[in-house]
Structure 1
Amino acid sequence: MFTTLVAVIAALVLGHLAPSLLATLRDWRWFGRGLGWLRAQLGESAAHYSVLLLVAPCVLLVGLLQWALAGRLFGLPALLFGVAVLALCWGPRDLDRDVEAVIDAEDEATAALAASRLQAAGGSMREDAPGLVEATAINALRRWFAPLFWFLLLGPLGAVLYRLLAQSSQGLQSQQLSTEERRSGDVLLAVLEWPVAQLMTLSMALVGNFDTVFSAWRRAAGNRWALQLGFLAEAARASVGAELVEEAEEARLAGQVPADERYPELRDAMSLVWRMLLLWMTLLALLVIAGWVG
């Protein structure tokens, strides 16, 4: 738990203090080159096993290092290894910076480029406010919360497993795969993301309007055993809409004019994501303190 908490803080701090360095380190093109080489060696008949044959050794190597470092030198090597792995698997782009770029864009061309970067990990491809809110929620899942969840459950091994599968299914590397391979990858990725999306929705309800989020979750079939993430996007749009209504009502009662801001929905969506992450980190901190006290 302590390693996870430190690793998350380090990933966030490094992302703001050394964005260029981390952008270089988080370059997953080596994975694409390895995938292309492996597919060429296997031939068409066995190419559909290429992702598995490339991901498995990487995950196995990280797992062996994780096991070898466990318990050595009071856990310091394992801590540093965990911080490094999660920092690399975080992102690969910083979500808050991409959201700020969309809000601060001064012309349509810049706004379109910023929106495409925000939508890099999936979600809605529309550039209207609801589409950008959905993209923020889905990208928060794939850039932050899913690596964090699987790191928490399995350690560095889990974060690497998720990031490599996400890159093969949603990254530029997916262009090398056939339609059937991408479909299979999407199903496997959905298995890893579905529990994270459910926990994110619960967190959203706790830090926002519970009734609004719960109604949106049920309306989008979040209470069914289906590997779909639509309920997360629906809950995010509903929660942001409810918060904007509340802010407008508070401004009206105070005799103020609501601020004229570009994409206020996007600002609220990012604020919501930050509150959700803060909730997760607070729970981790409480678990760490409970472990020390116990």
Structure 2
Amino acid sequence: MSFVVLLLTMLIEKFSGLRQYLQRDGGWLRELHKLEASPRLATKPWCVLAILILFPVAVLGLLLLVLQPVAYGLLALPVHVLIVIYSLGRGDLLEGLGPIRDAWRRGDLQAAAHVSERDLGVTAESGEQLLEKVQSHLLWQAYQSFFAVIFWYFLLGPVAALSYRLLALAAENGKNPELIERAQQLRHAFDWLPVRLLAASFALVGHFAAVSRVMLHELLSWDISAEQLINKAGCAAAEIPAPQVGPEGVASLDTLWALLLRAAVLWYACFAVWTLLL
């Protein structure tokens, strides 16, 4: 059923706006900030994470346990689809890059710096650094929004996919430094395996030798962050040249996006083969 759910998710994501209506985090974030501000829990970040993450995923697990035996699991299918869609990243990645692409194509570095800070939260001291950071943003957001979610869903089901997204929300929106640190530690553990599999996928669909040189030193490293690793592997696989102003710089973003699409096709092909073998 996992492969069917991933196919349905892809079709719904492409041809409907369900994701925009489903990904409503306001209530969960209010509870996060309320628990962070609680005098009893302010110094107990693990308790806050347990309440906000373990409780929802436990309820989801019980619901699926009840629905799975009914009608050969057909009642559980829509729940799987809804959870996977909710667990995907927030916002439209390509739409968010649109204004900076236009500004960069015109060679207007000031406008590019303004829209990148406004839309992406990316700032830099120079145009070259700005483009490099936007490239890194594209790779990281594509990974954490899509690849990490479908990996954990296919491996362990909707409970793991939801856990990943709730951890990401806690790490990105928390106000308590201790809670943010704990959430980032757990997320780092969640990212360790899928980010390396995606880097290996880049090698297969991109420049194999260049990615191999990057992966050789970082394959088993616990210290390098997922964002750093995916940026190194992605730029190496796509053979991204030095930053340039104008259409050439925009072309580097298109090259990275094409690399991500090829990796996504590879992952879906592997999921399909695995499903057939089982």
Task: State the TM-score, normalized to the length of structure 1.
Answer: 0.79
- Cα gap change, 1:116/1:277 in structure 2, threshold over 3 Å: closer, same or farther? farther
Q: How does 1:257-276 map to 2 (within 5 A)?
A: 260-276=247-263
- Cα gap change, 1:198/1:144 in structure 2, threshold over 3 Å: closer, same or farther? same
1:162, distance to aligned residue in structure 2 (A) = 0.5
> Quick one: distance in 2 between partners of 1:76 and 1:8?
15
SS in 1 for 2:75: helix
SS in 1 for 2:239: helix
> Quick one: distance in 2 between partners of 1:6 and 1:116?
38
Does residue 34 (structure 1) correspond to residue 31 (structure 2)? The answer is: yes
Tell me the residue number matched to 1:14. 12
Does residue 226 (structure 1) correspond to residue 226 (structure 2)? The answer is: no
Tell me the residue number matched to 1:156. 158
Please provide the CA RMSD for this pair.
Answer: 2.7
Deviations 1:21-71 (A, max 9, x none): 422321212111011223344535545222222211101011111211223
> Quick one: distance in 2 between partners of 1:118 and 1:162?
24
Q: Identity of aligned pairs, percent?
A: 24
Tell me the residue number matched to 1:239. 237
Does residue 281 (structure 1) correspond to residue 268 (structure 2)? The answer is: yes
Q: Do the aligned partners of 1:212 and 1:238 also contact (CA within 8 Å) in 2?
A: yes
1:110, distance to aligned residue in structure 2 (A) = 6.7
Does residue 146 (structure 1) correspond to residue 148 (structure 2)? The answer is: yes
> Quick one: distance in 1 between partners of 2:21 and 2:111?
23
Deviations 1:167-224 (A, max 9, x none): 0002xx22x22x22212221111000111110010110011111011112235x3343
Deviations 1:107-130 (A, max 9, x none): 66874566357746xxx7546322
1:100, distance to aligned residue in structure 2 (A) = 4.5
Deviations 1:223-266 (A, max 9, x none): 43435222221111222226x69xxxxxxxxxxxxx94551111
Q: Which amino acid aligns with 1:129?
A: L
Q: Do the aligned partners of 2:113 and 2:123 also contact (CA within 8 Å) in 1?
A: no
1:287, distance to aligned residue in structure 2 (A) = 2.1
> Quick one: distance in 2 between partners of 1:11 and 1:103?
28
- Cα gap change, 1:206/1:162 in structure 2, threshold over 3 Å: closer, same or farther? same
1:87, distance to aligned residue in structure 2 (A) = 0.9
Q: Do the aligned partners of 1:187 and 1:227 also contact (CA within 8 Å) in 2?
A: no
1:94, distance to aligned residue in structure 2 (A) = 2.9
> Quick one: distance in 2 between partners of 1:236 and 1:119?
19
Q: How does 1:1-294 map to 2 (within 5 A)?
A: 3-19=1-17, 21-43=18-40, 46-48=43-45, 49-105=47-103, 111-112=112-113, 115-116=116-117, 119=120, 126=124, 128-170=130-172, 173-174=173-174, 176-177=175-176, 179-219=177-217, 221-226=218-223, 228-229=225-226, 230-241=228-239, 260-291=247-278
Q: Do the aligned partners of 1:240 and 1:269 also contact (CA within 8 Å) in 2?
A: yes
Moved more, 86-95 or 275-284: 86-95
Q: Which amino acid aligns with 1:69?
A: L
How many residues are aligned here? 266
Q: Do the aligned partners of 1:102 and 1:114 also contact (CA within 8 Å) in 2?
A: yes
Q: Which amino acid aligns with 1:203?
A: S
